[in-house]
Amino acid sequence: MNSKDLQNRTKKFAIEIIKLAEFLPNKQIGWTITNQIVRSAMSVAANYRAVCRAKSDRDFISKMGTVIEESDETLFWLELIEESNIIKSDPKIDLLKREANELTAIFVSSVKTIKKRIK
């Protein structure tokens, strides 16, 4: 998968999280989770774009660290939504959790590859 494909994939992931957030309850807990999960998912997409413009391997690793943190945070919010039953069991949540895990694995693998190269 090339960087452009991954940019599109992270953007699609953010869009799907935004759509999921529409189903969160319209009360304080729903607003709080919506704010957090939408921010983290959009951060994955936006910061991955920044990764693609990294000036060096060290810059790439640094920027990718943020992307990894944000993708893992998004996974946390998805797990919280599911485990607290804020949204009743929904296969869409499982798909988004799988995508968050896959994206995180791709990002971690990329960092490992670059770290091996610069040693």
| CATH code for the domain in which residue 98 is found | 1.20.1440.60
pLDDT surpassing 90 at residue 83: yes
Work out the angle at residue 79's Cα, subtended by the Cα atoms of residues 78 and 84, and round it to the nearest 5 degrees: 105
Q: Which residue has the tokens 């709080």?
A: 32
- 48: containing domain: 3-118
Note whether 20 and 96 are within 8 A (CB): yes
pTM: 0.94
When pLDDT is cut at 50, 70 and 90, the band that residue 79 belongs to is very high
Note whether 34 and 40 are within 8 A (CB): no
pLDDT surpassing 90 at residue 33: yes
Number of domains within the chain: 1
> What does the alpha-carbon distance between residue 16 and residue 18 come to, in Å, rounded to a whole number?
5
Please compute the mean of the pLDDT values over residues 75-91 and round it to a whole number. 92
pLDDT recorded at residue 107 = 97
Percentage of residues of the chain with pLDDT beyond 90: 93
pLDDT surpassing 90 at residue 69: yes
